[in-house]
Amino acid sequence: MQSNHAEAIDRRLKSIEGHVRGVRRMVDDGAYCIDVVNQIVAIERALKKVGALVLDDHLHSCVADAMGSSDAEERERVVQELLQVYQAVGRG
Amino acid sequence: MQSNHAEAIDRRLKSIEGHVRGVRRMVDDGAYCIDVVNQIVAIERALKKVGALVLDDHLHSCVADAMGSSDAEERERVVQELLQVYQAVGRG
Amino acid sequence: MQSNHAEAIDRRLKSIEGHVRGVRRMVDDGAYCIDVVNQIVAIERALKKVGALVLDDHLHSCVADAMGSSDAEERERVVQELLQVYQAVGRG
Amino acid sequence: MQSNHAEAIDRRLKSIEGHVRGVRRMVDDGAYCIDVVNQIVAIERALKKVGALVLDDHLHSCVADAMGSSDAEERERVVQELLQVYQAVGRG
């Protein structure tokens, strides 16, 4: 992974890790269920933003290289991966 | 839109149109709410599959062309579009 | 389905049906893939809003009745249905 | 939060916390972007399962109590919260 966003990705993942820990504490303290569910949804959104940064790096490095190459098989491999990601993300 | 999947896309969209019409009838006939919600979720999934076919065409035509070109601005435009789609799809 | 939102639900489903037909025309006319994908995402969002209206009706009728009843089995049935819907919606 | 699933919820959140830490390590070690994105999607799914457990507890405690009460305002409050959660979850 060649990365323009490496620092931002790590910073966000670290913050998500803390967020998850915070939700564990909420549950432990008997917080209201709906507040817990809303925090869980907030973490999912934060993860999607990290995913977008990783994909940004991917498109600017691996995909750009593969699509610019003359290797048709390699180009197809990269396209299939992007389609698989699209479907996985859509299913959530 | 250069399309390998044009026929499949149209066939699926036509089927989705009929599916929506069917749900209208269900509502009209006083069907059970949960059955209606489940049909709505089924239509959303069918739409995601159409979206994947359209994206498949896009990656094999416009993206392949742009990424193979020497025009850096055009390559960046295509990448930004894919990122925007990724985020829109993730949000649902 | 006892419905406070019957009219709004039908109106929205009719509009979604027209939206799907519009996307078929776009594809037929060779519209740009990304524009097609964005319209598909817009239809998914419109469906989610209809789903919310149907669920609103459901919570105010069937769920309210079941949860107010002394039939524990019926209450559990209604709860399980809501959980199943929650998971289906989350998966998209 | 009255909880039948308190232990399972904490166990799963702890495992998710470890999963996030694992993804940080992957990024640090220069893992392939698509593998990172797939792990992020896996974490989102794990979070949805925790959300379902929390909602299960909620429906069996707060919602059951409120819906069984004669306080119409309280019943409506609980219904509105469930609708808000449904929409938040649908948007991901």
SS (H, E, C) chain B: CCCCCHHHHHHHHHHHHHHHHHHHHHHHCCCCHHHHHHHHHHHHHHHHHHHHHHHHHHHHHHHHHHHHCCCHHHHHHHHHHHHHHHHHHHHC
Residue D81 has pLDDT above 60, yes or no: yes
Residue C37 pLDDT: 96
B64 to chain A: which residues are within 8 Å by CB? 67, 75, 79
Cα distance between residue D4 and residue C83, in whole Å: 15
Cα distance between residue A80 and residue B62, in whole Å: 15
Q: Determine the distance in angstroms separating the CA of C91 from the nearest CA of chain A, rounded to an integer.
A: 5
Q: Which residue of C has its CA nearest to A86?
A: C37
Out of C24, C34, C51, the one facing B81 most closely (by C-beta) is: C34
| Residue B84 burial (10 A CB sphere; 0-12, 13-18, 19+) | middle
For residue A24, the number of C-alpha atoms closer than 13 Å in the C-beta half-sphere is 17
Residue D92 pLDDT: 59
Q: Backbone phi, then psi, for C86, in 5-degree steps?
A: -55, -45
Residue D75 has pLDDT above 70, yes or no: yes
Q: Determine the distance in angstroms separating the CA of D21 from the nearest CA of chain B, rounded to an integer.
A: 22
Residue C38 pLDDT: 96
Q: Determine the distance in angstroms separating the CA of A17 from the nearest CA of chain B, rounded to an integer.
A: 21
Among candidate residues D61, C92, A61, C65, the one with its CA nearest the CA of residue B40: C92
Instruction: State mean pLDDT over B70-90.
Output: 91
In chain C, the percentage of residues whose pLDDT exceeds 70 is 97
Cβ C92 vs Cβ A92: under 8 Å? yes
D89: pLDDT confidence band, cut at 50, 70 and 90?
confident
Signed CA dihedral, C23, C29, C33, C34: sign only: negative
Q: Determine the distance in angstroms separating the CA of D58 from the nearest CA of chain A, rounded to an integer.
A: 6
Residue B17 has pLDDT above 90, yes or no: yes
Instruction: State mean pLDDT over A44-56.
Output: 95
Residue D28 has pLDDT above 80, yes or no: yes
Rg (CA), chain A: 18
Q: Which amino acid is at D1?
A: M
Residue C10 has pLDDT above 90, yes or no: yes
Out of D10, D57, D62, the one facing A24 most closely (by C-beta) is: D10
Residue B48 has pLDDT above 90, yes or no: yes
- What one-character DSSP code corresponds to residue A32? -
Give me A44's structure tokens.
């999912």
Residue C3 has pLDDT above 80, yes or no: no
Between these two residues, C46 and D90, which has the higher pLDDT value? C46
Optimal mutation site among A50, A76, A80, A82, interface B, most CBs of chain B within 10 A: A82
Cα distance between residue D82 and residue C56, in whole Å: 9
Instruction: State mean pLDDT over A20-42.
Output: 96
Cα distance between residue B69 and residue D4, in whole Å: 59
For residue B29, the number of C-alpha atoms closer than 13 Å in the C-beta half-sphere is 10
Residue B11 has pLDDT above 70, yes or no: yes
* CB count in 10 Å sphere of residue D29: 8
D10: pLDDT confidence band, cut at 50, 70 and 90?
very high
Q: Which amino acid is at A87?
A: Q
ipTM of the complex: 0.90
The mean predicted confidence, pLDDT, of chain D is 92
C6 to chain B: which residues are within 8 Å by CB? 27
Cα distance between residue A9 and residue B17, in whole Å: 41
Instruction: State mean pLDDT over C69-91.
Output: 90
Q: Which residue of A has its CA nearest to B61?
A: A79
A2: pLDDT confidence band, cut at 50, 70 and 90?
low
Residue D2 has pLDDT above 90, yes or no: no
C52 to chain D: which residues are within 8 Å by CB? 83, 86-87, 90
Cα distance between residue A54 and residue A12, in whole Å: 11
Decide if C32 touches B, using CB distance below 8 A.
yes
Give me A30's structure tokens.
């008997």
Among candidate residues C77, C64, C3, the one with its CA nearest the CA of residue D70: C64
D92: Cα separation from own chain's centroid:
11
D91 to chain C: which residues are within 8 Å by CB? 48
Residue A19 has pLDDT above 70, yes or no: yes
Decide if C81 touches D, using CB distance below 8 A.
no
In chain D, the percentage of residues whose pLDDT exceeds 70 is 97
State the first-to-last Cα distance of chain A, in angstroms, to the nearest integer: 23
In chain A, the percentage of residues whose pLDDT exceeds 90 is 77
Query: What is D6-91's CATH number?
Result: 1.20.58.1000
| Residue pointed to by tokens 């599916």 | B19
Dihedral of the alpha carbons of B4, B8, B11, B16, in degrees to the nearest 10: -110
Decide if B89 touches A, using CB distance below 8 A.
yes
Decide if C44 touches B, using CB distance below 8 A.
yes
Residue B7 pLDDT: 93
Residue C77 pLDDT: 93
| Number of continuous H segments (helices) and E segments (strands) in chain C | 4, 0
Decide if A45 touches D, using CB distance below 8 A.
yes
Chains that touch C (3 or more CB pairs under 8 A): A, B, D
Q: Which residue of C has its CA nearest to D68?
A: C68
Q: How far, CA to CA in Å, does C69 sit from each of A85, B84, B89, D83?
A: 46, 48, 41, 22
Decide if D40 and A47 are in contact by the 8 Å CB cutoff.
Answer: yes
Between these two residues, B90 and A81, which has the higher pLDDT value? A81
Instruction: State mean pLDDT over D41-55.
Output: 95
Q: Which residue of C has its CA nearest to B55?
A: C33
